[in-house]
């Protein structure tokens, strides 16, 4: 069971995300029906650590075994989505993989789960022109922290 709880139109969501950087690019994904991009990852399951969750999500979504490295950010993210008000707690980790198959993709591609999600390697120096959320990532990914940082972000309607 995912660590997601609903109270009316308020949703609490516990999420993990991976920061996979390669040659000045970072891997992003989005739902094919959305316009905004995010770092790949997903919801933590009850009883699962954030590191276990992140490795599982990459395996499910991209069929790749990742090594989860340093924790970069602990994020409290408040944002509207459709008719809901989300309160999301996210852990953002460095990830890498020995399997370099995904590094060869140019342009957009789909993962192992079919055509629901779209992935793309995006130049880090171009992130300010990308609809990437949480928005702090557009600049923060240019200089990754040496120690974990706590971030609180509120996206307006």
* pLDDT at residue 40 is higher than 70: yes
Q: Is pLDDT above 80 for 53?
A: yes
Residue 149's domain is classified under what CATH number? 3.90.79.10
In contact, 94 and 144? CB cutoff 8 Å = yes
Q: What is the predicted pLDDT for the residue at 137?
A: 98
| Confidence band for 80, pLDDT divided at 50, 70 and 90 | very high
pLDDT digits (tens, 9 = 90+) for 95-141: 999 887 777 777 888 888 778 899 999 999 999 999 999 999 999 99
**Whole domain around residue 134: which residue ranges?**
4-154
For strands 149-154 and 67-81, give the pairing.
parallel
Q: What is the pTM of this model?
A: 0.94
Task: Please give the C-alpha separations between residue 112 and each of 61, 75, 99, 133, 142, in angstroms, as whole numbers.
Answer: 5, 27, 15, 23, 28
Nearest to 42 by CA among 25, 61, 28: 61
Q: In terms of Cα–Cα distance, which of 102, 84, 65 is closest to 54?
A: 65
Looking at the structure of the chain, the number of domains it has is 1
Q: What tens digit of pLDDT does each residue of 83-98 get?
A: 999 999 999 999 999 8
């Amino acid at each position: 069971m995912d660590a997601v709880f609903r109270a009316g139109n308020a949703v609490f969501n516990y999420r993990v995300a991976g920061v996979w950087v390669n040659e000045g690019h970072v891997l992003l994904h989005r739902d094919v029906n959305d316009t905004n991009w995010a770092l790949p990852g997903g919801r933590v399951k009850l009883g699962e650590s954030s590191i276990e969750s992140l490795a599982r999500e990459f395996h499910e979504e991209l069929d790749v075994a990742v090594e989860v490295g340093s924790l970069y950010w602990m994020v409290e993210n408040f944002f509207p989505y459709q008719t809901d008000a989300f309160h999301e707690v996210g852990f953002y980790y460095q990830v890498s993989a020995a399997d370099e198959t995904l590094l060869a993709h140019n342009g957009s591609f789909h993962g192992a789960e079919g055509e629901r999600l779209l992935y793309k390697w995006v130049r880090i120096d171009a992130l300010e022109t990308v609809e990437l959320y949480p928005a702090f990532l557009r600049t923060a990914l240019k200089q990754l922290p040496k120690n974990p940082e706590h971030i609180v972000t509120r996206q307006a309607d």
